[in-house]
Amino acid sequence: MALREHQRAGSRVGDRASRILGGPGGGRSLAIATLSTAVVLTALGLVVVTSPGWPEVRESFFYGPEFRESFPDILEQFGTNVQLFLLAEAFILVWALVLAVLRSLPGPVFFPLRLLSAAYTDVFRGIPTILLVFLLGFGVPGLQLSGVPSSQFFWATVSLVLVYSAYVSEVYRSGIESVHPSQEAAARSLGLTQLQALRHVVLPQAIRRVVPPLLNDFIGLQKDTALVALLGVVEAFRQSQIEVAGSFNYTPYVATAVIFLALTIPMTRLTDWLIARNRRRELARA
Amino acid sequence: MSFVELEGVHKSFGRNEVLRGIDLTVEEHEVVCLIGASGSGKSTLLRCVNLLEPVDAGRIVVGGTELTAPGVDVNRVRREIGIVFQSYNLFPHMSVLRNVTLGPRKALGLSRAEAEQRADELLARFGLSDKRDAYPDSLSGGQQQRVAIVRALALRPKLMLLDEITSALDPELVAEVLNVVRELAAGGMTMLIATHEMGFARDSANRVCFLDAGRILEQGPPERIFSSPTEPRTQQFLARIVEAGRL
């Protein structure tokens, strides 16, 4: 009896829809969720504010006047992060698709292309992003080659594109492989060439399916734009370091975190919503 | 020379020999039904005729062109041979109209207007005009399969291959699809049909071939195959079909 009550209030068996609130059960579920959240948050809050070091931590990390003073400057430099993110994302979307398509070409003729594409993803997924940023950002301009850009913003963008396109091409590839081979057979049976079948039948379905995981990778990219600070490019994180050095107060770091969250949280929610919607559609289809 | 000629066609998947020497001819305007148990090689045979599966040995000639010769333009060959699959295989991200016009536009190079006119004529002929802008998900199995037939016809093929096209349908939807095939037969379309619908084979085929373990064991006019099969395997197969109440 108790078990049945529990199931009625909780979620349906097999319901793995990606969401936080809502679901079957109605008002009772919501009440339980609200109560347990309030209890947990209160307990956590008490642990923090009753800790011995809390007064000092509050002064150095959550100091109101410092927050108000540094926030506008950091926000202004955050424009560099957004610019970097948008630029890198555009190149990643295209370059990763090229890599994924090369990897998916069948037949022995294309073996070298498949091999190169696989090697690329292995290498750039294997190198820590921070190392690549250092290697390219300091190494390439150090060569002093004429005609090669020496801007560190440029090489930071290149590093992020190289690393993230390796991840994103794997996401694309999983999408391409999830399209049933009978779809390609149907397209080929209409006399379409392999490339036409890919372009009109396989890729449109593949890309639609991988939008949520793609967004997921872009949330990671948004955060990693902070790595360019290491090259001396002034962006939000670098600016917060400057502010901290000027006041010996860590509040600017918290301000930077708030700014990043303001961008990534909506994107995270959107991703979850898209995943839930895709799942609903799959269920409706089956 | 017959319109379709197969000589000694062999096909294996790994160590599994699915076709073990198929000899078969189909005359122009003839309707030939392939019957036999699941796994006897009916579907593989059709896929080989459309070059969706490369053959291991043997010759396939359609309309005077040897498809199995080296250097054949497979895309050109496929434009002249329509195939309809058991699982419809419509493109789920395209409307009915785009499903039907994709082949004519991309493979034949027709303009959008020409392709749409051709599609509209066919959709009207098979009672699907009101589904023109619908997506495959919203159609019944029977409607989807009729759209798949229209999609293949839009290329104006000289030969149609039908691969158990009613096997995935609810029983009450089988008739609407078979009526389309009967209409095609009446219009003189040359067809090679793999089917489990024995009643349909009996009343619509010019010839029935019984496949067993990758060979054509017996063939002839449907009256003879269904009433007095000579091979023990054919007799056994048909006895089981009758037992199941499907003939």
Tokens of A56: 């000092």
pLDDT of residue A230: 84
B107 and chain A in contact, CB less than 8 A: yes
Chain A residues with CB-CB distance to B165 below 8 A: none
Chain B residues with CB-CB distance to A189 below 8 A: 50, 52, 78, 81-83, 152
Chain A residues with CB-CB distance to B52 below 8 A: 185, 188-189
Condensed to tens digits (0 to 9), the pLDDT of residues B100-131 reads 999 999 999 999 999 999 999 999 999 999 99
Q: Is residue A205 a contact partner of residue B135, using CB atoms and an 8 Å limit?
A: no
Condensed to tens digits (0 to 9), the pLDDT of residues B118-170 reads 999 999 999 999 999 999 999 999 999 999 999 999 999 999 999 999 988 98
CB atoms within 10 A of CB B203: 11
What ipTM did this prediction achieve? Answer: 0.90
Residue B140 lies in domain: 4-243
DSSP secondary structure of B24-62: EEE-TT-EEEEE--TTSSHHHHHHHHTTSS--SEEEEEE
**Closest-CA residue of chain A to B151:** A190
Tokens of B126: 């098979």
Contact B83 A189 (CB under 8 A): yes
Facing residue for B78 by CB, picked from A182, A189, A200: A189
What SS3 state is found at B15?
coil
Q: How confident is the model at residue B99 (pLDDT cuts 50, 70, 90)?
A: very high
Q: Please give the tally of structural domains in chain B.
A: 1
Is the pLDDT at B171 greater than 90, yes or no? no
Which amino acid is residue B178, in one-letter code?
L
Which amino acid is residue A29, in one-letter code?
S
pLDDT of residue A16: 59
Measured between alpha carbons, how far is A174 from B34 in angstroms, rounded to an integer?
38
Condensed to tens digits (0 to 9), the pLDDT of residues B192-216 reads 999 999 999 998 999 999 999 999 9
CATH number at residue B152: 3.40.50.300
Q: Is residue B158 a contact partner of residue B63, using CB atoms and an 8 Å limit?
A: yes
Measured between alpha carbons, how far is A112 from B197 in angstroms, rounded to an integer?
48
Q: For testing the chain B interface, which of A189, A196, A202 should be mutated: the one with the most B CBs within 10 Å? A: A189
Architecture of domain A74-285: Orthogonal Bundle (1.10)
pLDDT of residue A108: 87
Tokens of A256: 């930077």
Nearest-neighbour CA in chain B from A89: distance (Å):
26
- Of B30, B158, B172, B147, the C-alpha closest to B85 is B147
pLDDT of residue A11: 53
Measured between alpha carbons, how far is B103 from A193 in angstroms, rounded to an integer?
10
pLDDT of residue A2: 47
Dmax (CA) for chain B in angstroms is: 55
Residue A154 to residues A67, A133, A222, Cα–Cα distance (Å): 31, 11, 16
C-alpha of A86 from chain center: 13
> Which are the contacts of A268, defined by CB distance < 8 A and separation ≥ 6?
A219
Lateral strand order in the sheet of B57-62 = B16-26, B4-13, B57-62, B65-66
**Which residue is listed with tokens 């301000």?**
A255
Q: Is residue A137 a contact partner of residue A156, using CB atoms and an 8 Å limit?
A: yes
Tokens of B55: 């053959």
- Of B211, B208, B245, B240, the C-alpha closest to B226 is B208
Mean pLDDT for chain B overall: 93
Tokens of A72: 């506008």
B50 and chain A in contact, CB less than 8 A: yes
Tokens of A167: 């991840």
pLDDT of residue A24: 55
Output phi, psi for B159, to 5 deg.
Answer: -145, 135
- Residue B210's DSSP bridge partners are B35, B218
Output phi, psi for B62, to 5 deg.
Answer: -125, 125
Which amino acid is residue B84, in one-letter code?
V
Under 8 Å CB pairs connecting chains A and B tally to: 59
pLDDT of residue B112: 96
CA triple B22-B179-B204, angle to 5 deg: 45
> Which are the contacts of A176, defined by CB distance < 8 A and separation ≥ 6?
A100, A101, A104, A202, A203, A206
Low-confidence ranges of chain A (pLDDT < 50): 1-9
Nearest-neighbour CA in chain A from B91: distance (Å):
7
Residue A49 to residues A56, A250, A275, Cα–Cα distance (Å): 11, 18, 37
Torsion of CA A219, A223, A225, A230, to 10 degrees: -160
Contact B137 A183 (CB under 8 A): no
Chain A residues with CB-CB distance to B83 below 8 A: 189
Condensed to tens digits (0 to 9), the pLDDT of residues A205-244 reads 999 889 888 988 998 999 899 988 888 888 899 999 999 9
**Which residue is listed with tokens 């040995």?**
B57
Facing residue for B78 by CB, picked from A182, A191, A285: A191
Domains of chain A by residue range? 74-285
Facing residue for B91 by CB, picked from A183, A189, A285: A183
